[in-house]
Structure formats: C-alpha cells, structure tokens
Structure 1
Amino acid sequence: MSGNHYKGNEVSCCIKYFIFGFNILFWLLGMALVGIGLWAWSEKGVLSNISSITDLGGLDPVWLFMVVGGVMFILGFAGCIGALRENTFLLKFFSVFLGIIFFLELTTGILAFVFKDWIKDQLNLFINNNIRAYRDDIDLQNLIDFTQEYWECCGAFGADDWNLNIYFNCTDGNPSREKCGVPFSCCTKDPAEDVINTQCGYDIRAKPDSEQKDYINVKGCVPQFEKWLQDNLTLVAGIFIGVALLQIFGICLAQNLVSDIEAVQASCDLFCFQLATCTSFTRFTGGLQPSTDPTTL
C-alpha cells in the first residue's frame, strides 16, 4: 500500500460476463415460455376460472411450459443479476438451485433404472389417464396425436386401450360415431395421401385383429417408447451427460465468481481497516514530524 491507493484481488471479468450472458438467454427464454403458457391458458379460459386447472383428468401440456419456463426464469434471473451486480447471495442461490436440479435428475435416472417395471406400470397408468381425457383438452389431444404418429403406436399397450375413452369404447350404449374406433393418429400412413383422413380410424376395432394391422398401428406406445430408447441409447445418454456437465460447469463458474467477490471484499475491508488505523494514529500524534532544527538537539 503506497500513497493510500488500494491494490488487491480483482473479480474475473471473463467469468462475470460469461455467466451474465449465458443466463440472460435462459432468463428471456424462461419469460417466453411462461408467456406462451399464460397465453394458452387465457385462450382456454383457465385464467378466468382458476379452479378449472385441476378439472382435467389427464396432463395439461401447458404445465410443461409453465414449470420449465418458471425454473429457467428463476435460474436465469439469479445468475444474470447475481453476476452483473456481484451479488453473492443470488450467485449462491443459483449454485444451490442448479445443484438441486442436478441431484434430482441423477436420482430420477438411478430410480428409473432400478425400478424399471414400476416405471413401466406408472407410464401405462399415465397414458391411460390421458386417453380418458383425450377429447377434454385440445392441447392434450394434439400431444397424444403427435406421440402416436411419431412412434407409430396406438394406446398404451394396444388399440383396445381406447375402450377407456367414452367416445371410442365399444359398449352397446355408446351413441358416438367414433364407437369402436381409434383416433386418426393411430392409422398407418399412405405416402400417396397429401391430406390426412381424420375418419380413417372409424369402426376399425370392430374388425378382426388380423385385419386391423392393415389399417392402424397395433403396437402400444409403451413398447414403442422402450424400443426407441434402446435404438437411441447413445444419443439419450449423450444428451444427459452433456446437460449434467453443463450444470456442473455452471456451478463451478458461479462458485469461482463468489470466491473472487469475497476475496475482493476481504481485501477492501483490510485496506479500509489499515487506512482507518493510520488516520487515527496521525490524529493521535497531532501530525508531528521529527524536528531537524540543530538548536533543539
């Protein structure tokens, strides 16, 4: 320390602005997802009747936008503002929150591997609950249709699972025109057709099983999902490892920045203490300097 100038530890600008830039993208994307979710609920009248959120028997896909967007918004806000303002509380919150998400992902992966049969049963139950609510929500209907088209499947374990839906079941008292049928997304695709025939699944399940396979995909979505995982195991594992490494990298950068900030604060406090001590000593001695007058010697 010379001339009362402070010179000590410094916060790494590279780490600071990298965390800021990376998280501002997450923050904006999170706001966009939440905005899309709110807009979808507004279009469906959910915002004017909040109690209707729990009325749907199956999954409302809007929840995916709200939950994912909310998590991204919170993480992005904490990381972005924490780095920009050098706020150690927000940076520590960012690290802990990101660590909790990583731990939950790791735990879920381990449990899914250990309890494969239980997960399979829960997936079957989940799909069947959504089959029952197929006509209750347009977003859920689109999600089921996309799933059945993408994996070329029908129902959880077969087309007969559509008996669970009041519009498609084969009971004698069912007045629906879709009785004993399946959604169009179960139908096999004809490359020559440019326009989707939404009535291709009518009365299909009234035919013998040997004939159904000529018109619809008879395999269930649970077996098809398992087959897809096996065929794309390397890709899925690579994505999970990449996300995990990205999270660990984010935690390490945030902790590094917290350490830099705390080191600077500690150095500044020490400098201020030393400066205050010197000032107090000068005032105590009255600012006297040693005399050089030979007559006083």
Structure 2
Amino acid sequence: MMSGKHYKGHEVSCCIKYFIFGFNIIFWLLGVAFLGIGLWAWSEKGVLSNISSITDLGGFDPVWLFLVVGGVMFILGFAGCIGALRENTFLLKFFSVFLGIIFFLELTAGVLAFVFKDWIKDQLNFFINNNIRAYRDDIDLQNLIDFTQEYWECCGAFGADDWNLNIYFNCTDSNPSREKCGVPFSCCTKDPAEDVINTQCGYDVRAKPDPEQKTYIHVKGCVPQFEKWLQDNLTVVAGIFIGIALLQIFGICLAQNLVSDIEAVRASCLFT
C-alpha cells in the first residue's frame, strides 16, 4: 500500500504534469497558427515557389516575424506537451534550458538597450531608412510602415525628408514618378470628416515650404515619436516585460519540479 506521503507527492506531480501539458498545448497551437500564417503569406507572394526570392527584398519582411516567433512557440510547446504527457525528462530539461536561454537573451537585450541607448537609436534609424528604400518592394513591409506612421503620427525615421531615400518619393529632377517630392498617405494628418482614405494626400507635399507642410503631414520622425510613446507608457511596457519574465521563470520552475518528481519516482522504483 502507498503511504500518505508518497500519495500526496504523486498527486502534486499529476497537477504539475497536466498544468504544463495544458499550458503548452495552447502555446503549441499558437505556434502552428503563426507558422501557418507565415507560410501562407509566402505562398501568396510566390516565395515558396522561388526560395531565392527571399533575398530579393532590400528591407525587412514582416513574414519572418511570424515564422521565427511561430517556430520558437512550436518547439517550446511541443517539448513541454510531450515532455509532460510522456514524463520524458529529456524533453522537459530541453524545455527548461530553451526557456532559460530566451529569458537570458531578453534580459541581456534589455540591459544593452538601456546602456547603449544612442547606439540603439542609430540602429533604429538605419533599420527604418533601409525599409523606406524598400517600401514599394513588398506589400507586407508597406503595410507595416503605414501602420507605424499612422499609429505614432510620424513620417520617416527623423522627418519627412527621409523619404528622399526612396526612388519613387525623392525630389531629384531625374525622378519621373508622380509621387516625386511626396510622402505615403500614412504620413498625412487625418481629417475626421473623411470616411475614405485619400491615398494621394501626400503628393508634392515636400515641395511646399516647411511651415505649410505641417498642415498636411506629420513632420515628426518615428524614432523620436517612439521614444516619446515609450516614456509615456513606461509603466505598462515594464509591467508587460516583468509579467512575461515571471511567466518564463514559473514555467522553468514547474518543469524542473516535474523532472525532480519523475526522477524521484524512478529512483524509488529501482529500490523497491
């Protein structure tokens, strides 16, 4: 007959086991969904039929974000689900170590971002300008830039003139584009009375004097606007990151606890 102490320990193991399984199956399904969305987007753009076209885009392809996040979630969810359900200590240890590495990378990134703020700002400026050049090359990138400029009410990295980097919007005499000396519609100030977006609202706007431009478009850059948003929402952002960190630590502790219980049960069986 099993003693009360052993029975209680077995019951706790079952609770941890099925909690880890239930939590990770949600994580695993979300990973599958993200991967599915990413592959579907690449299929629509013809990337899957021509893999070499991955390198054609000069800027950032947002599909990569879905694939990387989905891949990490899929691997973690799979290891956590199967490890807990089958009581596989190897998969549970892999889950703990992988989650620990992600936590360490997040912590390192946070510290480096705080210490090297100016360098991060320069890299963000380079990243945005690089994507401005590729604005018309990919519809997903275009939608991402438009969303960013609309949400933060900004234009370019540090100002509307950053759109001179794009071959369609630059102000050079040799530019035959109708969008010459303009900006995308997402830079425009919105008229609450307008129900339909005027996609031509940015045409020729940078050919106007600077004071006049302010009545048509947002003249502040996205880097300073992002900094302002971060300062205004610092408590919320910090709370989210702390919540994610605590969730990761909690997951690592639960997995290690379950590994210890499994190994203890196996050891007791050897000596029974």
**TM superposition score normalised by structure 2:** 0.95
- Deviation digits for residues 79-122 of structure 1, max 9, x if unmatched? 00000000000000000000000000000000000000000000
Per the alignment, do residues 238 and 177 of structure 1 end up closer, same or farther by CA in structure 2, a change over 3 Å counting?
same
C-alpha separation in 1, matches of 2:156 and 2:8: 69
Unaligned runs of 5+ in 2: none
C-alpha separation in 2, matches of 1:88 and 1:257: 8
- Deviation digits for residues 2-21 of structure 1, max 9, x if unmatched? 99999996661110000000
C-alpha separation in 2, matches of 1:11 and 1:228: 45
CA positional deviation for 1:237: 0.2
Per the alignment, do residues 18 and 5 of structure 1 end up closer, same or farther by CA in structure 2, a change over 3 Å counting?
closer
Per the alignment, do residues 4 and 184 of structure 1 end up closer, same or farther by CA in structure 2, a change over 3 Å counting?
closer
C-alpha separation in 2, matches of 1:10 and 1:232: 43
- Deviation digits for residues 141-168 of structure 1, max 9, x if unmatched? 0000000000000000000000000000
C-alpha separation in 1, matches of 2:32 and 2:149: 30
Per the alignment, do residues 5 and 108 of structure 1 end up closer, same or farther by CA in structure 2, a change over 3 Å counting?
closer
- Deviation digits for residues 221-260 of structure 1, max 9, x if unmatched? 0000000000000000000000000000000000000000
Runs of 4+ in structure 1 over 6 Å off = 1-8
Per the alignment, do residues 89 and 205 of structure 1 end up closer, same or farther by CA in structure 2, a change over 3 Å counting?
same
Match of 2:238, SS state, is: helix
- Deviation digits for residues 198-232 of structure 1, max 9, x if unmatched? 00000000000010000000000000000000000
Match of 2:11, SS state, is: coil
C-alpha separation in 2, matches of 1:121 and 1:194: 37
1:24 to 2:25 alignment: yes
Deviates more, 1:246-255 or 1:2-11: 2-11
C-alpha separation in 1, matches of 2:5 and 2:222: 73
**TM superposition score normalised by structure 1:** 0.87
Count of equivalent residues: 268
Contact 1:168 1:180 in 2 (8 A): yes
CA positional deviation for 1:54: 1.3
Per the alignment, do residues 177 and 259 of structure 1 end up closer, same or farther by CA in structure 2, a change over 3 Å counting?
same
Contact 1:10 1:260 in 2 (8 A): no
Match of 1:189, SS state, is: coil
Per the alignment, do residues 21 and 3 of structure 1 end up closer, same or farther by CA in structure 2, a change over 3 Å counting?
closer
